[in-house]
Amino acid sequence: MDWKEKIFKDVEKTKKASFIISKTSTEEKNLFLEKLSQKILLYQDEIIEANKKDVNSCIKKGYSSAFIDRLKIDKKRIDKMIKAIEDVISLPDPVGKKIWEIVRPNGLKIEKIRVPIGVIGIIYESRPDVTIEASILCIKSGNSVILRGGKEAKRTNKKLIEIMKVALGESLLPEDTVNLITSGGRASVKYILKLYQYIDLIIPRGGQSLIKTVVENSYIPVIKHYAGVCHTYVDKDADLDMAWKVVLNAKVQRPATCNATETLLIHKDIAEKFLPKMAELFRNYNVEMRGCSETKKILPDIKEATEIDWYTEYLDLIISIKIVNSLEEAIEHINKYGTHHSDSIITENKKSAEKFLKEVDSAAVYHNASTRFTDGGEFGLGAEIGISTDKIHARGPMGLEELTTYKYVIYGNGQIRE
């Protein structure tokens, strides 16, 4: 059996499983999630050991520290997986939820009801925690799932899928509700993207090259988890103590994530007072600063930012800094260079805050808070399957409801259209 035939058989089995999981009760789905939580706890040492092999292999190949951070699974991240499962168990099941209903003058009763999408394909790179988070959300929302993870996490992903299939079997649900594609190398991605009769939605999670490949080659609808060129703007009316704290957190708390701030904008009126201490805080965390010409007048020892820096998602301890003349210039900069992900304003001026929140065209906009909060768990959605930077169907952190569509259910008593 060649790799195409193997992938096709796995996808075909996942499609068949989707018809069963779509009508599975909330209680049955929650039973699976409870068993999965127990199995992850029971086999955590095996998961961590498999992950160590993946990590060591990537270290030897010279992968960046940011990449290794995304790949690594330790006890803390095992606990986070279990917490995510518990959160999803506690969330209401969206399947069957009535969105609205109407009774027409002719007596027809029309209901708009949430239903599963069907088969969801997740194409992702180094983060094996996505394997769990994506799967539990898909299954709780009545979908089956095809996972195509990166080769760098292949041992970890195989172990997690093995555990998941055991939990499905013990819950009397089809084990093919979730399948992992491991064969075919890079060519497998383009092949999967042609299977539109079996896969209903593709969600890519990874770097820009992966997402570009998926968008350009997919025969299947795509929701993009695109780059996070996130901004924090410190307004002239900011509480500077708050600003120093929030900006530092937004950059250094976990710089390898898509919701970390990559560009810092500062109003010219407070730049001389704000920047020296901010730079000192950044240096304490080994943050490389790249600034505009006005920034360099205050911080002459930092690198000069180029045009490309304003477009760059560093995913590392690097930040671009620009002094702006007004709130309007800050908004214009964000809408031009940002990726419509997450952007924040630090200000005590409510009018300025409202203008920023209204006019910045991003999935998540913040007032006096770190961009690092753009996350399904932090938003109360349980785990997340991704952060959509699209505008159609789903935007921002994608939870259970974003993994459903709807159908119209019409009740009549013999009506005909004249």
Residue 79 has pLDDT above 90, yes or no: yes
DSSP assigned state of 322: E
Query: Among residues of the chain, what percentage have pLDDT more than 90?
Result: 86
What does the chain come to in residues?
418
Q: How far apart are CA 291 and CA 283, in angstroms?
A: 14
Tell me what the pLDDT averaged over the chain comes to: 95
Query: Among residues of the chain, what percentage have pLDDT more than 70?
Result: 100
Distance linking the first and last C-alpha atoms of the chain: 56
Please list, in sequence order, all residues whose beta carbon lies within 8 angstroms of the beta carbon of residue 157, skipping any fewer than 6 positions away. Answer: 128, 131, 147, 149, 180, 182
Q: How far apart are CA 7 and CA 179, in angstroms?
A: 10
Say which CATH topology domain 230-373 has.
Aldehyde Dehydrogenase; Chain A, domain 2 (3.40.309)
Q: Spell out the domain ranges in the chain.
A: 3-223+398-411, 230-373
Provide the CA 334 distance to its chain's centre, in angstroms: 20
Residue 133 has pLDDT above 80, yes or no: yes
Residue 66 has pLDDT above 80, yes or no: no
Q: What is the pLDDT of residue 386?
A: 82
Average pLDDT over residues 92-99: 96
Bridge partners (DSSP) listed for residue 408: 112
Assess contact for 159 and 73: CB atoms under 8 A.
Answer: no
> CA torsion angle for 47, 256, 245, 280 (degrees, to 10)?
120
Q: What is the pLDDT of residue 132?
A: 94
Q: What is the pLDDT of residue 199?
A: 98
pTM of the model: 0.85
Residue 186: pLDDT band (50, 70, 90) is confident
Q: What is the pLDDT of residue 393?
A: 83
Average pLDDT over residues 148-172: 96
What are φ and ψ of residue 40, in 5° steps? -65, -40
Bridge partners (DSSP) listed for residue 231: 263, 343
Which residue stretches of 119-239 are H helix? Answer: 129-140, 154-170, 187-192, 208-217
Residue 1 has pLDDT above 80, yes or no: no
Residue 382 has pLDDT above 80, yes or no: no
Q: How much of the chain is helix, strand and coil, in % rounded to 5?
A: 45, 20, 35
Q: Are strands 109-116 and 404-411 parallel, antiparallel or unpaired?
A: antiparallel
Count H helices and E strands in the chain, helices first. Answer: 15, 16
Q: What is the pLDDT of residue 69?
A: 86
Q: What is the pLDDT of residue 213?
A: 92
Residue 370: pLDDT band (50, 70, 90) is very high
Q: How far apart are CA 329 and CA 334, in angstroms?
A: 9
Q: How far apart are CA 228 and CA 266, in angstroms?
A: 20
Q: Which long-range contacts (CB under 8 A, 24 or more apart) does 287-290 make?
A: 287/251, 287/252, 287/317, 287/318, 287/319, 288/317, 288/318, 288/319, 289/318, 289/319, 289/321, 290/318, 290/319, 290/320, 290/321
3-223+398-411 CATH: 3.40.605.10
Average pLDDT over residues 306-311: 97
Average pLDDT over residues 205-224: 90
Average pLDDT over residues 399-411: 96
Please list, in sequence order, all residues whose beta carbon lies within 8 angstroms of the beta carbon of residue 61, skipping any fewer than 6 positions away. Answer: none
Residue 238: pLDDT band (50, 70, 90) is very high
Assess contact for 246 and 344: CB atoms under 8 A.
Answer: yes
Residue 51 has pLDDT above 80, yes or no: yes
Estimate the crossing angle of helix 240-252 against helix 271-284, to 10 degrees.
40
Assess contact for 346 and 239: CB atoms under 8 A.
Answer: yes
Q: What is the pLDDT of residue 207?
A: 77
Q: How would you label 53-70 residue by residue, b for 16+ Cβ within 10 Å and e otherwise?
A: ebbeebeeeebeebbbbb
Which residue stretches of 61-172 are H helix? Answer: 65-71, 75-90, 129-140, 154-170
Beta-carbon count within 10 A of 373 CB: 17
Residue 299: pLDDT band (50, 70, 90) is very high
Residue 218 has pLDDT above 80, yes or no: yes
